[in-house]
Amino acid sequence: MNKLHANAAAALADIPDGASLAVGGFGLNGVPHALIDALHAQGADRLRVVSNNCGSGDRGLGLLLPDHRIAHVTCSYIGENKEFARQYLAGEIDVALIPQGTLAERLRAGGAGIPAFYTPAGVGTQVAEGGLPVRHHPDGRVAIASPPKEQRVFDGRSYVLERGIRTDYALVRAARGDTHGNLVFHKAAANFNPVVAMAGQITVAEVEELVEPGVIDPEHVHLPGVFVQRVVALTPQQAADKPVEKRTVRP
């Protein structure tokens, strides 16, 4: 039951080239920075990533972009990552754009063993009809477009079929966790981390505060340890590393 690993490098040592991985966080909030740093040092290439976005600048998943370590991204938006946008428009990376709520539910469904579900989100758009650019030619023309999705009518309303998502690995960050993998997330970090953790065949969690089993009240557990295979305790310096994408202050 003890899932604790010595460090992030040890927990990610077996990720191969071409692996698929779901990564938690929203913008730069709740992002598993230590695990991404270790993945960058580990060297895995041609990764297929599922995440709300692809980091910002050289933080988060943006750290892997300059070396072209990511081959495909399933996400809800490009964000303000200029290198991500450049690679997408230049045909250097494949991108599947998914409505944000649909992406979260696809991850949760995959983790719950649900292969597919119907949703009204995207009906009447290229999300359902197909045609969203997945890959561009270097001159900007669309090289690969998304295919149309199955649609059905229930009670007079149209719905589109979306597949649940499962990945080889999942990387998440939690505010608190025990050696059995039970996790507690802090505020907005709970946006994507719980469903991302559910979607991974092997889920690795970096925790800011590591406690012994039984310390966390069962009623306060946000994600049970059954979804987590590996735990990494952050150092105080790593735990304090919480970059802000856009820092604003009152006058």
Domain boundaries, the chain: 4-115+164-240
Helix (H) or strand (E) holding 202: strand 200-211
Classified as helix, coil or strand, 223 is: strand
Rounded to the nearest 5 percent, the helix, strand and coil shares of the chain are 25, 30, 45
At the fourth CATH level, which superfamily is domain 4-115+164-240?
Answer: Glutaconate Coenzyme A-transferase (3.40.1080.10)
What does the pLDDT read at residue 58?
A: 84
What does the pLDDT read at residue 152?
A: 98
Its sign, for the CA torsion 137, 142, 147, 149, is positive
What does the pLDDT read at residue 137?
A: 96
What does the pLDDT read at residue 10?
A: 97
What does the pLDDT read at residue 205?
A: 98
What does the pLDDT read at residue 246?
A: 79
What does the pLDDT read at residue 131?
A: 96
What does the pLDDT read at residue 245?
A: 79
| Residue ranges for the chain with pLDDT beneath 70 | none
Per-residue pLDDT reduced to its tens digit, 192-228 = 999 999 999 999 999 999 999 999 999 999 999 999 9
What does the pLDDT read at residue 110?
A: 98
Classified as helix, coil or strand, 48 is: strand
* β strands within the chain, DSSP E: 4-5, 20-23, 47-51, 70-75, 94-97, 116-119, 133-136, 142-145, 151-154, 157-163, 167-178, 183-184, 200-211, 230-233
Q: In sequence order, what are the beta bridge partners of 169? A: 21, 202
Look up residue 251 and give its two tokens: 């006058």
Angle at 137 between CA 131 and CA 138, to 5 degrees: 145
Classified as helix, coil or strand, 58 is: coil
Distance CA 212, CA 1 (A): 12
Rg of the chain on CA atoms, in Å: 18
